[in-house]
Structure 1
Amino acid sequence: MPNENNNEISLKELREGFYQCRRFEATNLWRRSFLLSIFLVFCFAVYGALASEILTAGPGAANFLALNEAACAVALLGTSFA
């Protein structure tokens, strides 16, 4: 009579449950990192386009300040998610 109490869980069942949880967490970690890397590449592309516009417009242009603020906002957003 090794198992008189039905509430007891064997060590093998406990280990299998922990491995399933670990596998689930690792899968979610890879998915999240993949989506984050796509978002960061998008932020770098937008920042590069805005920096190019700033360099071609010059400091005397009417929309220079708006382009500069938008580039700073994209850089801060990308940095906060990194």
Structure 2
Amino acid sequence: MAPKRPNRLASTLPQGTENRTPPKKVAETLRDANEPQLDRRTTIYLSSETWREAKIAALDEGTNISQIIEKLLKDYLTSK
């Protein structure tokens, strides 16, 4: 019988849990507390380049694409 090999993946996991922050729900992670709750889903089609640039901008601003689109649509609708 071959000798048991150590589990390399297990050795990369943190051992202690005392310094961990409690887990958050996904909705709390994706939503800024100051923003209104986004409760409707829709599909939009964007070019790959537009999506990529929007994703980078959202990451730079610490937000997400849904919040950017929400703000843009609100601004557009109030200017009509």
Normalised-by-shorter TM-score class? under 0.3
Does 1 or 2 have the higher relative contact order (CA < 8 Å, sep 6+)? 1
Q: Identify the structure with the greater helix proportion.
A: 1
How does the TM-score come out when normalised to structure 2? 0.27
How does the TM-score come out when normalised to structure 1? 0.27
